[in-house]
């Protein structure tokens, strides 16, 4: 019974999938946060350019 328990790798597989999912989540969070900062800068530039335009009326 103890030998069968040692050969059972289903728990190890679940842990490996959990680690892979955590790594993917960290990569997504890092990418979104970098992209979000860049996007905010672009919108700030566009907003500033629109605010500096003369009023057409």
Helices of type H across the chain: 2-7, 10-52
Contacts of 4 (CB under 8 A, 6+ apart): none
Domain ranges of the chain: 1-52
Its pTM stands at 0.54
Residue 36: predicted pLDDT: 85
- pLDDT digit of tens for each residue in the chain (57 aa)? 667 766 666 677 888 899 999 999 999 999 998 888 888 889 999 999 888 887 766
- DSSP string of 18-30? HHHHHHHHHHHHH
The reported pLDDT for the residue numbered 57 is 65
Looking at residue 26, its pLDDT comes to 97
Q: What is the pLDDT of residue 51?
A: 86
């Amino acid at each position: 019974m103890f030998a069968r328990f040692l050969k059972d790798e289903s728990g190890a597989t679940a842990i490996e999938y959990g680690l892979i999912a955590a790594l993917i989540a960290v990569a997504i969070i890092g990418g979104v946060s970098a992209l979000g900062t860049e996007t905010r800068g672009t919108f700030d530039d566009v907003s500033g350019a629109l605010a500096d335009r003369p009023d057409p009326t």
